[in-house]
Structure 1
Amino acid sequence: MLARLRPLMATATRGKTAPGVAFSTSVAAAERYDHMHYSHTDACHHLRWTAKESYEYMYARPWSRVADFYAELVRTGAGATGLAILFGKDENDYTCDTNGGNYIVPLEKQTSSKSSNDRGGRWERANFKIVLSYHGGSFDGWQKQPGLNTVQGLVEKHLGKFVDERKAKQLEARSLPIEGYAAVAGRTDKGVTALQQVCSFYTWRKNVKTGDIKETINKAAPEKLRLLHVSEVSREFHPNFAAKWRRYLYIFPLDEDAKSISGEEQSTKILKGLEYNIKPQVFDVDKVDKIIRQLEGKSLSYKMFARDTQASRSVGPPTKCFMFHSRAAVVKLHSADENCEEGMSAVCIELVANRFLRKMVRVLVATTIREAAAGAEEDALLNLMEATCRRATAPPAPPEGLCLVDVGYDDFNRQMCFIVD
C-alpha cells in the first residue's frame, strides 16, 4: 500500500486555483498516471509532508493505547460519560438516561396531536430506538457484508428473534436467514469505535418488550458490543433522517518522540527546515486548534476531504456540510492502573456537524496536522476547499483514533461539547 502513496509531483501552474495551492500536470505525467498531482506553492511548501510521509507519520503512533482506552469505555458501558471525565467535565451532564430522557425526538412529541392507532400499513408496527456502544477494533465496520464480522450483521442476526411470523415465512421461502433489519444514523468504517450509535428496528409483533431486546443484544458479543438503551418510539422515527447533528472525536497519541511544540521553538524548527530542507516531525497543538476552528459555523463543500465516494456525489449539495463545532486540545490518556499524571499525552479533535462524508473526519485530522507541522496559515483548510484534486489533502488518518460519540435529535447545544472556551 505504501508503494502506491507516491510523493506529490511539482509541475507548472495551470488554471484557477485556491491560494497557496497550484494545480498542474506534465505530458509525461499525464501519460503515466490517470490522476493529476498538486504542488503547494505557499511559503511553507517545502516543509509540507508528501502523501507517503504523512501516511507514515500518522501510523507510527502507539495506537494500541487508544484502542485499549476505547475498549474500556465500551466494556463498562460508560458511553460519553467516559469522555467527559477525560476532559474534566461533570459526568452527570453526559450520563445516558435509562428512561430515555436524552433520546426524546421531536417526531415522537408530535404524535400526541393525532392518533395513528386506527391506521393500517406501517402504522401498525412497533418501532424501537436502540442506542449501541461497540469497539471498532473488534468488528469489520458497521455495514453488513458477506463473510465479515460486522456490527449490523451481528445485531440483525439477534434481532431475528423478534421478527413477526409473516416476515419469517417470507425469508424462509427465499432460503434466507431469519433476521431483523437495523437502520442506522451513520455507518462507521472498520476500526472506528462508537459510544452512542443510534439504530432502529421495527416489527409487527405486539408482545416484544424492550428488556428482551436489550438482553438479547448484550449476549451477542460481551465486552465488544453493548446496548445502552432501547425504547419504543414513533413509527415516523428514522435514526438517520431525524438526526440534526453527529459528534465525532479523534484521539491522536503523542509519544516521547512526537511532543507538541509552540512559540519560539516552532519558529526555530521552521528556520532550520528552510536552511537544511528538513521537514518537521512535531507540530503545535495550538496551531491545530486555530486551523480547525476556521471551519466552525460555516456550510462548506468537503468534497476534497472525502474518499471512496461515487462520482455523482462528488459535486454539488451532497458534499456540503455545516460544522457546528470544531476544536482541538491536549488530554492525558490513562488505563485502569495509571493516574492522570502518568497517562499518555494525546491530541483530541472534536467535530460536530449536521452530516459527514466518507472518511471526511480522518482526512480532516491528517490534513490539519500536516498543515500545522508545516507552519501553514490558519486558513489552510479553507483554501483547500477550492482545490480540484483530492491529492491536495492528506491520506486518511488511522481509523483506530476515531470515535462516533453520539447523535443528536434536538437542536445543537455547544455547552454539551467537551472542548469549549
Structure 2
Amino acid sequence: MTTWKSILTYDGGPYHGWQVQPGLATVQGTLAEALEHVTGESVLPQGSGRTDTGVHALGQVVSFSLATAIPAANLLRALNRALPASIRVLSVEAMDDGFHARHSSVRKTYEYRIFPRLAVGQDRICSPMLAPWVWECRWPLVLGAMQEAARCVLGSHDFTSFAASDPDRATRDADTEEAPDNVRTIFSSEWAEEDGLMVYRVTGSGFLHHMVRNLVGTFVDVGRGRIAPEYVRQILEARQRSAAGATAPAKGLFLVSVEYAA
C-alpha cells in the first residue's frame, strides 16, 4: 500500500460539502468515484477538514492509500481526466505511512471575500462572473474598524461563541488525541482591501464548525457600526453562540492552505 498526499482546488457551489452523503453530490464522494474509476479500488479519501455546503478550496489536502502501483504523474493526470471541471487535483505525492491529511496538520489558513455593494459613495454592481464566490454585502463597511476587531481574536481563546453545533464532532473526537474543547490558537487575523473586495485572512491551529463564517458575520456588525471593535473580546468571554453575529454566507469562504510539521 502507498499513502498518497494530494492537494485539491474546487468550486464548492455544486456540492453538499466535503463529507460523503447518500444520494448527494459531495467532494469526498466525487473524488472516491474518480479513484475507483482510475484504480479499481474502493477507498474513502480523508480531507484536512470538512468544508460545508458551498464552501470552496484553493488548497484542500487529502490523503488516501492505494495498492495499485502507479507513478504520481500518471495518477495526477488520470484523476483530472476522471473528475468534473469543478474539482482539480493540483498535486499528488507519496508519503510515509503515518501521514494523515487531518491528524497531521498543524495550521490552516482560510480566506473570506466580501463585495461591498456600497463603497466610495456609490451603489456598485457585482458581476455575475464574481457573484458565486463572494458575499455581496449591502451595508457600507468601515475597514479600519473591522481590522481592529480582527486583532481581538489573536492568540489562544475559547471560541464557543463563534462555534455552531457540529453533529459530526463526537465521531471526530473519538479517533483523535486532541482534547474535546473549543480552545483554538489564531496566529494571524487581518482584513485587507484587494481589487474592490474586502478580504479576511485567518490562520489558526484549527477551526470549529462555522467558526470563520461566524467571525466574519461579527466583524461585519463592527464594520457597519452595530457594535464597537473592542466588544469582540466580550463576545469571546461570553462563550455563548447567541452573543456573536450572524453566520456569513458560505459562498465567500475559501480554504486556502494547510500546513504540516517538517
TM-score bin, normalised by smaller chain: 0.7 to 0.9
Give the Å deviation of 1:162: 6.0
> How do residues 61-72 of structure 1 correspond to structure 2 at under 5 angstroms?
none
Corresponding residue for residue 328 of structure 1: 191
Distance in 2, Cα, partners of 1:355 & 1:161: 33
Give the Å deviation of 1:159: 1.2
Distance in 1, Cα, partners of 2:187 & 2:100: 22
Corresponding residue for residue 145 of structure 2: 287
Give the Å deviation of 1:372: 2.9
Corresponding residue for residue 236 of structure 1: 98
Check 1:388–1:405 CA distance in 2 against 1; reply closer, same or farther (3 A cut).
closer
Distance in 1, Cα, partners of 2:166 & 2:232: 20
Distance in 2, Cα, partners of 1:148 & 1:292: 36
The reply to whether residue 136 of structure 1 matches residue 136 of structure 2 is no
Distance in 2, Cα, partners of 1:227 & 1:219: 10
Distance in 2, Cα, partners of 1:320 & 1:388: 11
Give the Å deviation of 1:378: 2.8
Structure 2: where are the runs of 5+ without partners? 122-137, 174-178
Q: Given the alignment, which residue of 243, 248, 254 partners 1:397?
A: 248
Corresponding residue for residue 158 of structure 1: 34
Instruction: Letter of the 2:224 partner, please give it.
Output: A
The reply to whether residue 364 of structure 1 matches residue 221 of structure 2 is no
Corresponding residue for residue 235 of structure 2: 384
Check 1:305–1:409 CA distance in 2 against 1; reply closer, same or farther (3 A cut).
same
Corresponding residue for residue 227 of structure 1: 89
Q: Is the 8 A contact 1:326 1:351 kept in 2?
A: yes
Corresponding residue for residue 347 of structure 1: 198
Distance in 1, Cα, partners of 2:240 & 2:120: 30
Structure with the bigger percentage of helix? 1
Distance in 2, Cα, partners of 1:242 & 1:250: 24
1:163-184 deviation line (CA, Å, top 9, x unaligned): 6xxxx7xxxxxxxxx5212011
Instruction: Letter of the 2:91 partner, please give it.
Output: H
The RMSD of aligned alpha carbons is 2.3
Instruction: Letter of the 2:166 partner, please give it.
Output: T
Q: Is the 8 A contact 2:188 2:204 kept in 1?
A: yes
Give the Å deviation of 1:355: 0.2
Corresponding residue for residue 41 of structure 1: none
Q: Which has the larger radius of gyration?
A: 1
Instruction: Letter of the 1:233 partner, please give it.
Output: M
Distance in 2, Cα, partners of 1:281 & 1:227: 37
1:7-41 deviation line (CA, Å, top 9, x unaligned): xxxxxxxxxxxxxxxxxxxxxxxxxxxxxxxxxxx
Give the Å deviation of 1:374: 2.3
Q: Is the 8 A contact 2:158 2:239 kept in 1?
A: no
Corresponding residue for residue 181 of structure 2: 318
Distance in 2, Cα, partners of 1:390 & 1:376: 16
Q: Given the alignment, which residue of 158, 164, 176 partners 1:307?
A: 164
Equivalent pairs, count: 238
SS state at 2:90 partner:
strand
TM-score w.r.t. structure 2 length?
A: 0.84
Segment of structure 1 superposing worse, 196-205 or 367-376: 367-376
Distance in 2, Cα, partners of 1:260 & 1:308: 38
Instruction: Letter of the 1:184 partner, please give it.
Output: G
Check 1:162–1:236 CA distance in 2 against 1; reply closer, same or farther (3 A cut).
farther
Corresponding residue for residue 338 of structure 1: none
SS state at 1:386 partner:
helix
Corresponding residue for residue 109 of structure 2: 247
Distance in 2, Cα, partners of 1:386 & 1:260: 35
Identity percentage over the alignment?
28
Corresponding residue for residue 202 of structure 1: 65
Distance in 1, Cα, partners of 2:2 & 2:203: 31
> How do residues 174-213 of structure 1 correspond to structure 2 at under 5 angstroms?
179-205=42-68, 207-213=69-75
Instruction: Letter of the 1:399 partner, please give it.
Output: A
Q: Is the 8 A contact 2:116 2:141 kept in 1?
A: no
Q: Is the 8 A contact 1:159 1:213 kept in 2?
A: no
The reply to whether residue 217 of structure 1 matches residue 79 of structure 2 is yes
Instruction: Letter of the 2:81 partner, please give it.
Output: K
Distance in 1, Cα, partners of 2:87 & 2:199: 24
Deviating runs (4+, > 6 A) in structure 1?
Answer: none
Q: Is the 8 A contact 1:289 1:328 kept in 2?
A: yes
Give the Å deviation of 1:317: 5.1
Q: Is the 8 A contact 1:260 1:284 kept in 2?
A: no
